[in-house]
Structure 1
Amino acid sequence: MHITPILKQLRDQCPSLANRVVVGIDPQTPPTSPSQPTPVAYVAVIADLASKNTAQNAFRQTIRDRFEVTLLLDATDAALALDQLQRLRAELWRALVGFKPGGDYDAIEYDGGELVSINASRVLYRLRFFAEFQLGRNRSSEPAETWHERELDGLPSFTGVTVRVDAIDPADPNLKRPGPDGRLELTFSGDVKQ
């Protein structure tokens, strides 16, 4: 998933963050500088989950791209910080839930949140989101997305067929019954015109 549309959406739709939206955070060592202005939103792509293939003669999988937004808040007054957290959560939901981060993706959904840490100076709260897309094209006119599709694209075009029929009956009494006797009873051809 491209992270740029999500960053732009947060910057445009979350005025409480005042453009303090950045990429990435290590939850084990969050920035704790007292001079850091808050609130800040850290956005990181965290995982993708793939469903099983749903097609029999092709490859078609639903991929769930997961990302998180971690909010860093000033906790000098813990009660105010937790109230601000509730307002920011709602603002993030309005900005992201239902937003499509790209043409191939379904709308973003909320996947839950959790308190990472709280101390006398900072609150760190993580919200998880996801958006799904399909791996594997729907039409052969679309670009290949898998090796199987690239392999099929490399095959020569289908131009026609010749069918030769050796019927089971009447069977040759000298051969094991029932079964074809080795004589062609019918031959026909068809050409594909484009």
Structure 2
Amino acid sequence: MKITPILTQLREQCPTLGQRVAAGFDLATLQAEAPLQTPCAYVLPTADIASKNAAQNVTLQAVRDRFDAVLVLDATDATKALDLLHDLRAELWRALVGFKPGAEYTGVEYDGSELVSINSSRVLYRLRFFAEFQLGRNLASQPAESWHERELDGLSSFTGATVRVDAIDPADPNLKRPGPDGRVELTFSGDVTP
């Protein structure tokens, strides 16, 4: 998942953060001193989880892209920091839950949160989110998303077929057992026009 749409959404929809939203974070640095003025948020992709392929002859997998938003708050007044944390958590939900980070994604969903660390100067609180997309195209006219689709795109187009039928019945009395006798009883063709 591209991180830029998430950063833009948080900068535009979270007034309490006042544009103080950046990508990535180094936990040790944030615990000592945040590069941005507090309160601020750092966003980073954390993992993707793919389901098993749902089809036998094409690629069709649901992929869950996970990302974290880490809030950094001033903890000199712990009560004030924890109250602000409650308000900021709700602000992040309003900004992200249901937001689509790209045309191929479902809306973002909330996946829980946890306290990362707290000391006399900083509170770090992680909120986990995810959005899903499908790996594997829906239409042959869409660009290939897997090796199998690229391989299929390289095949020549199907233009038609000719079928020759050697029927089992009526059975040839000269054969010891009934079955196809090698004589074609029926031939037909079909052309495919796109």
Question: CA 1:47–1:157 in 2, change beyond 3 Å: closer, same or farther?
Answer: same
Runs of 4+ in 1 over 6 A off after TM superposition: none
Task: Summarize the alignment of residues 30-179 of structure 1 with structure 2, pairs less than 5 Å apart.
Answer: 30-33=30-33, 37-173=37-173, 175=175, 177-179=177-179
TM-score normalised per structure 1: 0.94
Identity %: 72
The residue type paired with residue 113 of structure 2 is G
Structure 1 position 184, deviation (Å):
1.0
Separation of aligned partners in 2, 1:38 and 1:184: 84
The residue type paired with residue 16 of structure 1 is T
Q: Does 1:187 align with 2:187?
A: yes
TM-score normalised per structure 2: 0.94
The residue type paired with residue 41 of structure 1 is A
Structure 1 position 179, deviation (Å):
2.5
Question: CA 1:35–1:186 in 2, change beyond 3 Å: closer, same or farther?
Answer: closer
The residue type paired with residue 136 of structure 1 is G
Aligned to 2:126, the other structure's residue is in SS state strand
Q: What do you get for the CA RMSD once the two structures are aligned?
A: 1.7
Deviates more, 1:69-78 or 1:167-176: 167-176
What runs of 5+ residues in structure 2 fail to find an aligned partner?
none
What runs of 5+ residues in structure 1 fail to find an aligned partner?
none
The residue type paired with residue 69 of structure 2 is V
Number of paired residues?
Answer: 194
Aligned to 1:64, the other structure's residue is in SS state strand
Separation of aligned partners in 2, 1:59 and 1:65: 18
Structure 1 position 31, deviation (Å):
4.6
Deviates more, 1:119-128 or 1:176-185: 176-185
Deviations for 1:8-37, whole angstroms, at most 9, x for unmatched residues? 000001111111111111335535227852
Aligned to 1:30, the other structure's residue is in SS state helix
